[in-house]
Amino acid sequence: MTQNHRVTVPLIEARGISKAYPGTVALAPLSFSVKPGEKVAIAGPSGSGKTTLLELMACAIQADQGSLLLDGRDSGRLKPGRELSSLVGIINQGYDLVPNLPAIHNVLAGRLGDWSLLRSMVSLVRPRDRHLAEAALEELGMANKLMERTSHLSGGEQQRLAVARVIVQSPKIILADEPVSSLDPARAEDMLDLLTGLIDDSGVDGPVHNPDKVLIATLHSPEMILNFFTRVIGLRDGELQFDRPTGKVTIDDLDDLYLLAENRWPEGWVPGGAGGGLDRDSSSHGSAGVA
């Protein structure tokens, strides 16, 4: 198999996947594929099925119908631990950091899928694979924070810590669930620069800037979706509304996607132009239910 052919094989292939809960269709049958190097934004109002789709790809839940292949393997048959960890890494809204631990341990949490329980416990005393954490933090400008307590780090530094953990894990599929929902615009752009930098081919050797990976993130900001991503999947009420390259998606398309019943937008949504999207306070305190 040639290199050119290999990079066209999808890392994610969904075939009619769906998910329902009692009284709620979280995700109607959906088919799509994602190839290496793609940066995909999943957009849609609360209750549209974004988080459900992300959880399916993370193998946190299983589809009721259809099939989901990750790097050609049935997601339902992937084993927790090394096999799953090598394929999928996720950054949640709260970054899932342990505040009382030094930064190095939060970064090396990305290696837990490869380690035995004994090795994981030993690493809390004498960090294993220390060189990987050092290299990742140096890449992100935090080499001097290696042993600093995580709770003493700034918000921006904790963002980078979560990214460093994914660098150390080095999965093929990077998922991010509303990674900028609680950040001001400047920090939000910094975070997306870091995340998309894991995919962009800038000629840098090593685990960062790897075009053989994919990034999939849920977002509410039209400008950031259009500026940082190569493709947009739009969902509403659990159903696919569109799946297009970013160049064929407009601000008006995203406004229409978020337009709710009775011709109103979600609270905090500013339609059209600069500053469009959900404001930071509204997007980080969404309504309960299927996201």
Flag whether 78 is in a domain.
no
Residues 12, 50, single domain; the answer is yes
Tokens 């099939």 found at: 67
Residues 183, 236, single domain; the answer is yes
- CB neighbours of residue 198 within 10 Å: 22
Q: Give the per-residue pLDDT at 121.
A: 65
Residues 27, 62, single domain; the answer is yes
Mean pLDDT for the stretch of residues 21-50? 93
Strand 214-218, strand 39-43: pairing: parallel
Residues 243, 225, single domain; the answer is yes
> Which domain covers residue 274, as residue numbers?
3-71+172-283
Residues 242, 191, single domain; the answer is yes
Tokens of 85: 């960890």
- Which of 153, 170, 187 lies at the terminal end of a domain, its last residue? 170
Number of domains in the chain: 2
Mean pLDDT for the stretch of residues 52-65? 94
Strand partners of residue 74: 69
Residues 119, 49, single domain; the answer is no
Q: Give the per-residue pLDDT at 55.
A: 94
Write the pLDDT tens digit of every residue in 91-128: 887 788 889 999 988 898 878 666 566 665 656 657 77
Flag whether 166 is in a domain.
yes
Q: Report the alpha-carbon distance of residue 125 to residue 271 in Å, rounded.
A: 52
Least confident of 68-72, 197-201, 219-223, 282-286: 282-286
Q: Give the per-residue pLDDT at 122.
A: 54
Residue 68's pLDDT band (cuts 50, 70, 90): very high
Residues 66, 190, single domain; the answer is yes
pLDDT at 174 over 80: yes
- Which of 145, 170, 195 lies at the terminal end of a domain, its last residue? 170
Strand 65-70, strand 12-21: pairing: antiparallel
Flag whether 89 is in a domain.
no
Residues 212, 261, single domain; the answer is yes
pLDDT at 15 over 80: yes
Q: Give the per-residue pLDDT at 280.
A: 41
Residues 65, 107, single domain; the answer is no
33 or 205, which is more confident: 33
Write the pLDDT tens digit of every residue in 206-246: 444 567 899 999 988 888 999 999 999 999 999 999 999 99
**Cβ atoms of 181 and 175 closer than 8 Å:** no
Residue 266's pLDDT band (cuts 50, 70, 90): low
Flag whether 176 is in a domain.
yes
Flag whether 50 is in a domain.
yes
Least confident of 94-98, 145-149, 210-214, 265-269: 265-269
Flag whether 82 is in a domain.
no
Residues 53, 181, single domain; the answer is yes
Mean pLDDT for the stretch of residues 152-167? 88
Mean pLDDT for the stretch of residues 185-195? 84
- Which of 154, 170, 186 lies at the terminal end of a domain, its last residue? 170
Q: What is the CATH number of the domain that holds 19?
A: 3.40.50.300
Q: Give the per-residue pLDDT at 205.
A: 42
Q: Residue 211: CB partners within 8 Å, gap ≥ 6?
A: 7, 36, 37, 199, 200, 201
**Cβ atoms of 58 and 47 closer than 8 Å:** no
pLDDT at 22 over 80: yes
Flag whether 196 is in a domain.
yes
**Cβ atoms of 1 and 22 closer than 8 Å:** no
Flag whether 213 is in a domain.
yes
Q: Give the per-residue pLDDT at 217.
A: 95
Q: What percent of the chain has pLDDT over 70?
A: 77
3-state DSSP call for residue 77? helix
Q: Report the alpha-carbon distance of residue 50 to residue 91 in Å, rounded.
A: 15
